[in-house]
Amino acid sequence: MNGSARQRALTVSLLQRADLWRQAETRARRLARGRSDDAADATRLADDYRLLAHDLARVRMLMPDSRTREYLEAAYARAHATLHHGAWRLGSALLTLFRDEIPAVVRWLRPYIVWSTVIFALAVIGGYALVQRYPELIALFASPDLIASVERGQLWTEGLLNIVPSSVLSAQILANNIVVSLFAYCAGFLFGLGTLYILGLNGLMLGAVFAFVSLHGLRAQLFGFIVAHGCVELSVMCLSGAAGAAVGEALIRPAQAGGRIESFRVAALRSGKLLIACALLLVGAGILEGYVSPDPRFALWARSAIGASYWLFMVALLCGWLFGRRARRPMP
Amino acid sequence: MSEVAPGLVVDSVTGIDVSLPVAGPGARAYAFLVDWHIRVILALGWFVLGALLYNGRFSLSPPLTNDARWFGAVVAPALAIYFLYHHAVELAMRGSTPGKRMAGVRIVARDGGVPSAGALLTRNVFRLVDSLPLFYGVGLITVVLTRDNLRIGDMAAGTLLVFEHADARLPTPASDAHRVSRLDAAGAEIVAELLERWPALQPEARVRLARQVLTRYGADPAESGNHDDAAWRTRLERLARPQ
């Protein structure tokens, strides 16, 4: 048998398996959609995978520019994806995330959390000192309405519930805070400079506004307004900044063998888990800011208790204690 | 062996690598535009329906005072549909969306498998950066400049957009014909595809292609004097039939 005839015979025998390929492809599609509980069906996919691999290798050699090859490439890729797709159960995935993964991320981010908190605190002090000394600079940080209100001796938050209902206020605030928090994380992509900018700007604004209201004798009122929601809100700002700083450092000083992109990927995926907890905490903070903070019926002690309790709740969530994780004790 | 389209090549335990052609900016933009239209229609649909039900008459105007019901039932869900569309749909469809399906692409992890939920969420969070300053400017530039056409969200999540070839079909008649006709496998596929596309082709294109195929496979294109459309088709069918 000459080479051409042999090749032709091989091709014929190969194409006679087309029905098996179709069955394999259909099975892979069905299993990928999760529409089969049949264990035997799933086991057969492993055989299909080997069959497709074997036949694809021959088709790549015998019929490189054919539609048959295109079909087999697609069927093989689908079988590969279906076979290598791990089991995913929402309940256990969430439990693992909150009990094990987020506490591990927080431990990993500890130095970044310390540094982002220090940067934020320095920015607050800087903003406070700046406006304390040059009150006219408040125009750089606050809106004209806010300035006019404080100059009249009234906080802009007073009577807020007469204008906007609590639910609307909460939704607006939490959406805004979540976007700022996500931006602080994503902006780490600019080698950490974006995160630094967002932390610095927010710190300066907070310090400047506090200094301005202090100059008009309204510091206690402002403290009363922010104490319930602010403890967690500001902490989350520092946590997001820490996640962004980790992403930035991964780009500046890659720790992975794969280089900057690989290092960026590992840092972003790892620290990104913390953002889920941050978003949930900001939902709670937004609700407090809409329902508790502007409501004059809540006394200062009640607001302080709520703020402290929610902050402790945040610590417990981030340490995994809420989900059965125990603090590690040294071995006796 | 011909060159495979540039893309992701994943090692497999079988020893035969999995080849996934990477989608470029065109396919990405097409998928995005389809999805954008879908989410705009869904969000607007919710808003219009909600406003009509809220007002109880044919009017979309908001209430004069800030009403929590209006915000909670009409505005917030419409905004959520628009902004959380990609997050929710990609999670539910395991790395695909209606737009991506139409463009024939899907998201895969670096190992060729379905990306994890965390990777899909991270990929979408980074849309905040990719969409800057306007119209996905940053994302578009990085897609064009990177080897695997990655936007920043893909780099962060370790994902790629690849062509799915969901519509790849086996040319059945050609495969059967090849067993007994004078055509080789590739020729049988070409004839089958030409016959399949016959009704959609212009008459001149049909004749030109039929002539080329017949010449290539040793049949004399001027064998009979009849050169009408049906005659060319019959001769192609005869070429693919048993001898």
What is the per-residue pLDDT across B4-49, written as a single tens digit (0 to 9) for each? 456 888 888 888 888 888 999 999 999 999 999 999 999 999 999 9
- The confidence band for A116, taking pLDDT boundaries of 50, 70 and 90, is very high
**Is B103 part of the contact surface with chain A (CB cutoff 8 Å)?**
no
- The confidence band for B3, taking pLDDT boundaries of 50, 70 and 90, is very low
Of the candidates B222, B217, B216, the residue with the CA atom closest to the CA atom of residue B243: B217
Tell me the nearest-neighbour CA distance from A109 into chain B, angstroms: 17
Residues B82 and B106 in one domain: yes
Write down the pLDDT at residue A61.
85
Residues A116 and A52 in one domain: no
Q: Is residue B109 part of a domain?
A: yes
Q: Which residue of B has its CA nearest to A4?
A: B184
Q: Which residue of A has its CA nearest to B76?
A: A171
Contact B120, B90 (CB under 8 A): yes
Contacts of A265 in chain B (CB under 8 A): 155-158
Q: Which residue of A has its CA nearest to B186?
A: A66
Give the end of a domain, one of A83, A102, A119: A83
Q: What is the pLDDT of residues A197-245, one digit of tens each?
A: 999 999 999 999 999 999 999 999 999 999 999 999 999 999 999 999 9
A87 sits in which H/E element: none
- The confidence band for A327, taking pLDDT boundaries of 50, 70 and 90, is low
CA-to-CA dists, residue A174 to A25, A220, A272, A293, B167, angstroms: 46, 24, 19, 14, 44
Residues B135 and B60 in one domain: yes
Residue A176's domain comprises 91-323
Contact A181, A236 (CB under 8 A): yes
Tell me the nearest-neighbour CA distance from A70 into chain B, angstroms: 7
Residues B158 and B204 in one domain: no
Give the end of a domain, one of B137, B163, B189: B163
Residues A221 and A270 in one domain: yes
User: In angstroms, what is the C-alpha Rg of chain A?
Assistant: 29
Write down the pLDDT at residue A63.
81
Identify the weakest region by mean pLDDT among A287-301, B105-119, B161-175: B161-175
Identify the weakest region by mean pLDDT among A161-175, A214-228, A276-290: A161-175
Mean pLDDT of chain A: 88
Residues A25 and A140 in one domain: no
Residues A110 and A49 in one domain: no
Contact at CB, B193 and A12, closer than 8 angstroms: no
Contact at CB, A53 and B15, closer than 8 angstroms: yes
Which tokens in the block code for residue B74? 């009409």
CA atoms within 13 A on the CB side of A233: 26
Identify the weakest region by mean pLDDT among A82-86, A279-283, B34-38, B78-82: A82-86
| H helix runs in chain A, sequence order | 3-15, 18-32, 39-62, 67-83, 90-96, 102-108, 110-133, 144-151, 160-163, 166-186, 193-215, 219-252, 260-291, 300-319
Contact at CB, B185 and A15, closer than 8 angstroms: yes
Contact A5, A25 (CB under 8 A): no
Of the candidates A133, A132, A134, the residue with the CA atom closest to the CA atom of residue A210: A132
**Is B129 part of the contact surface with chain A (CB cutoff 8 Å)?**
yes
Strand partners, B22: B162
Which tokens in the block code for residue B216? 């290539």
Of the candidates A196, A178, A195, the residue with the CA atom closest to the CA atom of residue A186: A195
Mean pLDDT of chain B: 84
CA atoms within 13 A on the CB side of B232: 22
Residues B132 and B94 in one domain: yes
Report the domain count for chain B: 2
Contact at CB, B125 and A21, closer than 8 angstroms: no
Q: What is the pLDDT of residues B205-234, one digit of tens each?
A: 888 888 888 888 777 666 655 567 888 888
Contact at CB, A269 and B157, closer than 8 angstroms: yes
CA-to-CA dists, residue A269 to A151, A182, B162, angstroms: 46, 13, 21
Tell me the nearest-neighbour CA distance from B49 into chain A, angstroms: 20
Give the end of a domain, one of B144, B163, B182: B163
Residues A69 and A109 in one domain: no
Q: Is residue B1 part of a domain?
A: no
Three-state DSSP class for residue A160: helix
Tell me the nearest-neighbour CA distance from B11 into chain A, angstroms: 10
**Is B111 part of the contact surface with chain A (CB cutoff 8 Å)?**
yes
Contact at CB, B189 and A269, closer than 8 angstroms: no
Q: Is residue A192 part of a domain?
A: yes
Give the end of a domain, one of B163, B180, B214: B163
Residues A63 and A146 in one domain: no
Contacts of A183 in chain B (CB under 8 A): 128
Residues A310 and A225 in one domain: yes
**Percent with pLDDT over 90 in chain A:** 55
Give the end of a domain, one of A83, A114, A138: A83
Report the domain count for chain A: 2
Q: Roughly what angle, to the nearest 10 degrees, separates helices B76-92 and B117-125?
A: 130
Q: Which residue of B has its CA nearest to A160?
A: B66
Nearest to A186 among B112, B128, B178 (CB): B128
CA-to-CA dists, residue A247 to A111, A260, B10, angstroms: 13, 10, 27
Nearest to A272 among B118, B155, B179 (CB): B118
Residues B186 and B209 in one domain: yes
Which tokens in the block code for residue A37? 């509980």
Contact B107, B90 (CB under 8 A): yes
Write down the pLDDT at residue B231.
84
Determine the Cα–Cα distance for residues B32 and B143; give it in Å rounded to an integer: 14
Tokens 């379905």 found at? B114
Give the end of a domain, one of A27, A61, A83: A83
Contacts of B166 in chain A (CB under 8 A): 74
Q: Is residue A247 part of a domain?
A: yes
Identify the weakest region by mean pLDDT among A84-88, A100-104, A291-295, B37-41: A84-88
Residue B101's domain comprises 7-11+18-163
Contact at CB, B164 and A57, closer than 8 angstroms: no
Residues A102 and A23 in one domain: no
Q: Is residue A289 part of a domain?
A: yes
Residues B141 and B184 in one domain: no
Write down the pLDDT at residue A170.
83
Three-state DSSP class for residue B165: coil
Q: Which residue of A has its CA nearest to B163?
A: A74
Determine the Cα–Cα distance for residues A241 and B215; give it in Å rounded to an integer: 69
CA-to-CA dists, residue A64 to A70, A84, B9, B179, angstroms: 9, 26, 17, 18
Contact at CB, B169 and A71, closer than 8 angstroms: yes
Q: Is residue B2 part of a domain?
A: no
